[in-house]
Structure 1
Amino acid sequence: MAKYQEIKVNMEELKRKTKILKALSHPARLCIVKGLLNIGSSNVSNLQNCMEMPQSTVSQHLAKLRSAGIIKGEREGVQVNYSVVNEDAKRIIESLFE
């Protein structure tokens, strides 16, 4: 009879990865991250024009992505430029859109 191997699980790591997957599971947020990876960085106005959504809606999605640690915003004068900083999210997008 074959022995079952014990499965070692790091629950904290699984929780971090789950948070990333949840944040990317919305089509608008997936679009934002894919777009930011394509262009490097952008402000909310450019993203809003590209996505044809109200700025407030795009800002809400950016807040969720920021909260999940997927993007960061850098202030330049009155604008904030967003870019993708999470390597797991980058790999997920790359594998989805190869």
Structure 2
Amino acid sequence: MLTYKDNLVYFEEKADILKVLSHPVRLCIVKGLMENGENNVMSMQNCLSIPQSTISQHLSALRNKGIIRGRREGLEVFYSVQNPLVKKLIHLMFFE
């Protein structure tokens, strides 16, 4: 049986994911990655029409919470969604 402390950690982890996804730009980035697959910042910038530096800040927040991962190819980094729970949430929110 889970202790109160274990339960609290479990819910804190889920709440942290929801907090990060609650920003409209981050939600749009994750949805776009799920729709279009792996992508780089330049492609995201063309789609979102916001500065590359702003996108990079949001990508950093998503990466720090383990929602996305980056794969380096030369000078470019290609991002994809890695968190299975986030994939389910985005699917439920936008694709059903």
Same fold, TM exceeding 0.5?
Answer: yes
Alignment match, 1:15: 12
Tell me by how many angstroms 1:96 deviates: 0.8
Alignment match, 1:34: 31
5+ residue gaps, structure 2, are none
Alignment match, 1:49: 46
Residue by residue, what CA displacement relative to the aligned partner does 1:38-70 show, whole Å, maximum 9, x if unpaired?
A: 111101111011100000000000001001110
Tell me by how many angstroms 1:15 deviates: 1.2
Tell me by how many angstroms 1:74 deviates: 0.6
Question: Which of 70, 83, 86 is the matching residue for 2:83?
Answer: 86
Percent of aligned pairs sharing the same letter: 54
Determine if the alignment matches structure 1 residue 95 to structure 2 residue 73.
no
Give 1 or 2 for the bigger CA radius of gyration. 1
Question: Which of 51, 54, 59 is the matching residue for 1:62?
Answer: 59
Structure with higher helix content: 2
What secondary structure does 1:10 align onto? helix
Aligned length: 92
5+ residue gaps, structure 1, are 1-7
Aligned counterparts of 2:7 and 2:70: Cα–Cα separation in 1: 30
Alignment match, 2:22: 25
The ranges of structure 1 where at least 4 consecutive aligned residues each deviate by more than 6 angstroms after the TM superposition are: none
Q: Cα RMSD (Å) of the superposition? A: 1.5
Tell me by how many angstroms 1:13 deviates: 1.4
Alignment match, 1:72: 69
